[in-house]
Amino acid sequence: MAIAPSLYARQGDTTQIEEMSKVMEVVSKVPDAQVMTDLDATVAYAKASGKGNTKKLGITGFCWGGRIVWLYAAHNPALDAGVAWYGRLVARPGQPPNPLTPKQPVDVAADLKAPVLGLYGAKDRGIPLESIEQMREALKKSKTKSEIIVYPDAKHGFHADYRGDYKKDDADDGWKKLNEWFKKHGAV
Protein backbone atom coordinates (compact mmCIF):
# COMPACT_ATOMS: atom_id res chain seq x y z
CA MET A 1 0.00 0.00 0.00
CA ALA A 2 1.26 3.47 -0.83
CA ILE A 3 -0.32 6.66 0.51
CA ALA A 4 0.43 10.22 -0.55
CA PRO A 5 -1.12 12.40 2.17
CA SER A 6 -1.99 15.99 1.39
CA LEU A 7 0.31 17.57 3.96
CA TYR A 8 -0.40 21.21 3.00
CA ALA A 9 -4.21 20.97 2.87
CA ARG A 10 -4.85 22.98 6.05
CA GLN A 11 -2.70 25.84 4.78
CA GLY A 12 -4.07 25.93 1.22
CA ASP A 13 -4.96 24.00 -1.91
CA THR A 14 -1.77 23.80 -3.97
CA THR A 15 -3.35 21.62 -6.67
CA GLN A 16 -4.82 24.67 -8.40
CA ILE A 17 -1.67 26.83 -8.23
CA GLU A 18 0.64 26.87 -11.24
CA GLU A 19 3.22 29.39 -10.06
CA MET A 20 5.91 27.70 -7.90
CA SER A 21 6.49 30.79 -5.76
CA LYS A 22 2.78 30.74 -4.80
CA VAL A 23 2.98 27.03 -3.97
CA MET A 24 5.97 27.73 -1.73
CA GLU A 25 4.01 30.45 0.09
CA VAL A 26 1.54 27.75 1.17
CA VAL A 27 4.22 25.18 1.95
CA SER A 28 6.18 27.67 4.09
CA LYS A 29 3.21 27.90 6.48
CA VAL A 30 3.13 24.17 7.29
CA PRO A 31 4.50 23.38 10.77
CA ASP A 32 6.80 20.37 11.11
CA ALA A 33 4.86 19.23 14.19
CA GLN A 34 1.65 19.11 12.13
CA VAL A 35 3.40 17.07 9.45
CA MET A 36 4.70 14.54 11.99
CA THR A 37 1.22 14.01 13.47
CA ASP A 38 -0.34 13.85 10.00
CA LEU A 39 2.18 11.16 9.00
CA ASP A 40 1.46 9.29 12.23
CA ALA A 41 -2.25 9.47 11.37
CA THR A 42 -1.48 8.19 7.88
CA VAL A 43 0.29 5.16 9.35
CA ALA A 44 -2.63 4.59 11.74
CA TYR A 45 -5.05 4.75 8.81
CA ALA A 46 -3.00 2.24 6.81
CA LYS A 47 -3.00 -0.15 9.77
CA ALA A 48 -6.70 0.28 10.56
CA SER A 49 -7.72 -0.17 6.93
CA GLY A 50 -6.25 -3.66 6.90
CA LYS A 51 -4.79 -2.87 3.46
CA GLY A 52 -1.33 -1.81 4.60
CA ASN A 53 1.32 -3.79 6.43
CA THR A 54 2.73 -1.22 8.83
CA LYS A 55 5.25 -3.78 10.08
CA LYS A 56 7.07 -2.93 6.84
CA LEU A 57 7.03 0.85 6.94
CA GLY A 58 8.93 3.13 4.60
CA ILE A 59 8.76 6.78 3.62
CA THR A 60 10.07 8.69 0.64
CA GLY A 61 9.78 12.33 -0.31
CA PHE A 62 11.10 14.85 -2.81
CA CYS A 63 12.41 18.37 -2.13
CA TRP A 64 10.38 19.63 0.87
CA GLY A 65 9.26 16.03 1.37
CA GLY A 66 12.88 14.88 1.31
CA ARG A 67 13.55 17.06 4.34
CA ILE A 68 10.47 15.58 5.99
CA VAL A 69 11.81 12.04 5.44
CA TRP A 70 14.84 12.83 7.63
CA LEU A 71 12.65 14.40 10.32
CA TYR A 72 10.17 11.53 10.31
CA ALA A 73 12.98 8.98 10.60
CA ALA A 74 13.95 10.72 13.85
CA HIS A 75 10.31 10.89 14.98
CA ASN A 76 8.78 7.45 14.40
CA PRO A 77 10.47 4.41 16.01
CA ALA A 78 8.25 2.06 13.93
CA LEU A 79 9.74 3.28 10.64
CA ASP A 80 11.93 0.72 8.87
CA ALA A 81 13.58 2.96 6.27
CA GLY A 82 13.41 6.25 4.43
CA VAL A 83 14.64 7.65 1.13
CA ALA A 84 15.06 11.42 0.87
CA TRP A 85 15.34 12.95 -2.59
CA TYR A 86 17.15 16.31 -2.56
CA GLY A 87 15.67 17.46 0.74
CA ARG A 88 17.21 20.43 2.52
CA LEU A 89 19.60 19.34 5.27
CA VAL A 90 20.50 22.60 7.01
CA ALA A 91 18.70 25.88 7.52
CA ARG A 92 18.84 28.47 4.79
CA PRO A 93 21.45 31.14 5.53
CA GLY A 94 19.95 33.68 7.90
CA GLN A 95 16.98 31.46 8.78
CA PRO A 96 17.03 30.81 12.52
CA PRO A 97 14.97 28.02 14.08
CA ASN A 98 11.34 29.02 14.47
CA PRO A 99 8.10 27.47 15.73
CA LEU A 100 7.22 26.12 12.27
CA THR A 101 10.63 24.58 11.54
CA PRO A 102 12.46 24.27 14.86
CA LYS A 103 15.01 21.72 13.62
CA GLN A 104 16.68 20.68 10.41
CA PRO A 105 17.81 17.18 9.42
CA VAL A 106 21.39 17.90 10.48
CA ASP A 107 20.04 18.66 13.98
CA VAL A 108 18.30 15.27 14.30
CA ALA A 109 20.86 13.04 12.55
CA ALA A 110 22.00 11.46 15.82
CA ASP A 111 18.36 10.70 16.70
CA LEU A 112 17.42 8.76 13.56
CA LYS A 113 15.42 5.66 14.44
CA ALA A 114 15.50 4.27 10.90
CA PRO A 115 18.18 4.35 8.21
CA VAL A 116 17.75 6.98 5.51
CA LEU A 117 19.20 6.99 2.02
CA GLY A 118 19.71 10.53 0.77
CA LEU A 119 19.79 11.12 -2.99
CA TYR A 120 21.28 14.47 -4.00
CA GLY A 121 22.63 16.32 -7.01
CA ALA A 122 26.11 17.86 -7.01
CA LYS A 123 24.80 20.72 -9.17
CA ASP A 124 21.84 21.56 -6.91
CA ARG A 125 22.03 25.33 -6.39
CA GLY A 126 19.75 25.19 -3.33
CA ILE A 127 21.52 22.39 -1.47
CA PRO A 128 25.26 23.04 -1.54
CA LEU A 129 27.74 20.19 -1.26
CA GLU A 130 28.97 21.75 2.01
CA SER A 131 25.59 21.03 3.62
CA ILE A 132 25.71 17.44 2.36
CA GLU A 133 29.13 17.04 3.98
CA GLN A 134 27.76 18.57 7.21
CA MET A 135 25.02 15.93 7.18
CA ARG A 136 27.45 13.12 6.46
CA GLU A 137 29.50 14.24 9.46
CA ALA A 138 26.38 14.44 11.67
CA LEU A 139 25.32 10.95 10.54
CA LYS A 140 28.48 9.53 12.12
CA LYS A 141 26.73 10.08 15.48
CA SER A 142 23.67 8.10 14.41
CA LYS A 143 23.08 4.47 15.36
CA THR A 144 21.50 3.89 11.95
CA LYS A 145 23.47 3.11 8.83
CA SER A 146 22.21 6.03 6.78
CA GLU A 147 23.91 6.97 3.52
CA ILE A 148 24.01 9.83 1.06
CA ILE A 149 24.59 9.41 -2.67
CA VAL A 150 25.50 12.45 -4.76
CA TYR A 151 24.96 12.31 -8.51
CA PRO A 152 27.77 14.40 -10.07
CA ASP A 153 25.77 15.93 -12.94
CA ALA A 154 22.35 16.18 -11.29
CA LYS A 155 20.58 19.37 -10.30
CA HIS A 156 17.67 19.86 -7.90
CA GLY A 157 14.58 18.00 -9.04
CA PHE A 158 16.47 15.44 -11.12
CA HIS A 159 13.72 12.85 -10.58
CA ALA A 160 10.86 15.15 -11.70
CA ASP A 161 10.23 14.19 -15.33
CA TYR A 162 8.10 17.30 -15.88
CA ARG A 163 10.97 19.69 -15.02
CA GLY A 164 13.93 20.90 -17.02
CA ASP A 165 16.35 19.49 -14.44
CA TYR A 166 15.09 15.94 -14.98
CA LYS A 167 17.97 13.53 -15.50
CA LYS A 168 16.60 10.17 -16.55
CA ASP A 169 19.68 8.05 -15.88
CA ASP A 170 20.10 9.43 -12.34
CA ALA A 171 16.35 9.25 -11.68
CA ASP A 172 16.26 5.61 -12.78
CA ASP A 173 19.33 4.76 -10.73
CA GLY A 174 17.87 6.52 -7.69
CA TRP A 175 14.60 4.61 -8.04
CA LYS A 176 16.53 1.34 -8.26
CA LYS A 177 18.49 2.29 -5.14
CA LEU A 178 15.23 3.22 -3.34
CA ASN A 179 13.82 -0.24 -3.98
CA GLU A 180 17.05 -1.92 -2.90
CA TRP A 181 17.18 0.23 0.27
CA PHE A 182 13.61 -0.56 1.26
CA LYS A 183 14.17 -4.26 0.64
CA LYS A 184 17.47 -4.29 2.57
CA HIS A 185 15.89 -2.59 5.60
CA GLY A 186 12.58 -4.45 5.66
CA ALA A 187 10.29 -1.69 4.40
CA VAL A 188 8.87 -3.93 1.64
**Residues composing the chain:** 188
Q: Which one is catalytic: 63, 75, 159, 185? A: 63
CA atoms in the 13 A half-sphere facing the CB of 35: 26
Is 63 designated active site? yes
Q: Which one is catalytic: 156, 159, 170, 185? A: 156
Is 40 designated active site? no
Q: Which one is catalytic: 32, 75, 80, 124? A: 124
Say how far apart CA 15 and CA 32 lie, in whole Å. Answer: 21
Burial annotation 71-106 (CB, 10 A radius, 16+ → b, else e) = bbbbbbeebbbbbbbbbbbbbeeeeeeeeebeebbb
Is 156 designated active site? yes
> Which residues participate in catalysis according to the annotation?
63, 124, 156
